[in-house]
Amino acid sequence: MWDKDSLGFRVRYLQDKVGGSKQMAELSGVSQSTQSRLIRNKFGNPGLELLKAIADAGGCSVSWLIEGDVEDGDDGAKPKGFVIVPFKFGENRASVMFDRKYLVNVLGVNPDSCVMYQARSDAMAPTFTTDDQLLIDQKSTDGNGLFLIRIDGQLYVQRLQYLPGVGVQVISDNPNYQNYQVAPDQLEIIGRVVWIGGKSRQ
């Protein structure tokens, strides 16, 4: 895990944003090996031209890439144009940084209502699996779809389907797990899964 205040962390973030190191190399002209050295903070003086190429490819300012410049907000200092979304369910993980415009314009969520969750089983494979990172919109708790839920004090991420007059079908995408039904008052819906990230997608 990278120090979120380091240049390496920000380069890695921009890699993920554009689809990986290969895509970053194509967009910026900066080789994958050079990117790796930057990420590992093993590049003593990369030079402004190189950093500008990466910043332009990633759609951020050079000042943010170099220094992680901040602005004041309701929740304190934060990177300009970015939202830091924390894990809040006991995971020992660093917060994840998202482009605010991506959350609002692409995912259609309010950044202030989002939290991260780390998957704890393979019950939803191949959609996602153990240790993948999930972005949860806590304002979205209605309808069918993929949700973080609590049943009998335990957290699960399952696909829900409402059956009128019957109850709620709790579905696992992994065929090795059985589906089951519960009454609506037997489960607490914490929020809808709106983004999935993990090693399998990198």
Domain end residue (candidates: 35, 68, 101): 68
pLDDT in tens, 147-157: 999 999 999 99
pLDDT in tens, 49-59: 888 899 889 88
Q: What is the CATH number of the domain that holds 144?
A: 2.10.109.10
Find the mean pLDDT for residues 7-27: 89
Q: pTM (2 decimals)?
A: 0.62
**pLDDT on residue 44:** 67
**pLDDT on residue 43:** 73
**Do both 136 and 191 map to the same domain?**
yes
**pLDDT on residue 186:** 93
| 187 lies in some domain | yes
Average pLDDT of the chain is 85
The 3-state DSSP class for residue 140 equals coil
| 80 lies in some domain | no
The bridge status of strand 180-182 relative to strand 167-171 is antiparallel
**Do both 115 and 196 map to the same domain?**
yes
**Do both 59 and 128 map to the same domain?**
no
**Do both 115 and 45 map to the same domain?**
no
Domain end residue (candidates: 16, 39, 68): 68
**pLDDT on residue 174:** 97
Whether the CA torsion 136, 88, 150, 131 is positive or negative: it is: positive
**Do both 57 and 125 map to the same domain?**
no
Find the mean pLDDT for residues 167-185: 96
**Do both 61 and 117 map to the same domain?**
no
Domain end residue (candidates: 44, 68, 92): 68
* Separation of alpha carbons 93 and 90, rounded Å: 9
| 177 lies in some domain | yes
| 91 lies in some domain | no
pLDDT in tens, 21-77: 999 999 999 999 999 989 887 776 777 888 889 988 988 888 788 777 544 444 444
Domain count, the chain: 2
Percentage of residues of the chain with pLDDT beyond 90: 52
Q: pLDDT band for position 13 (50/70/90)?
A: confident
| 123 lies in some domain | yes
**Do both 188 and 122 map to the same domain?**
yes
pLDDT in tens, 92-148: 877 777 878 888 888 999 999 999 999 999 999 999 999 899 999 999 999 999 999
Examine residue 46 and say whether the peptide bond preceding it is cis (omega within 30 degrees of 0): no
Domain with 116, as residue range(s), is 111-201
| 76 lies in some domain | no
pLDDT at 3 exceeding the cut of 70: no
**pLDDT on residue 73:** 41
**pLDDT on residue 198:** 62
Given a contact cutoff of 8 angstroms between Cβ atoms, the answer to whether 24 and 58 are in contact is: yes
pLDDT at 85 exceeding the cut of 80: yes
| 88 lies in some domain | no
**Do both 120 and 53 map to the same domain?**
no
pLDDT at 180 exceeding the cut of 90: yes
**pLDDT on residue 78:** 47
Q: What is the CATH number of the domain that holds 31?
A: 1.10.260.40
- Of 55, 104, 112, 57, the closest CA to residue 84 belongs to 112
**Do both 63 and 115 map to the same domain?**
no
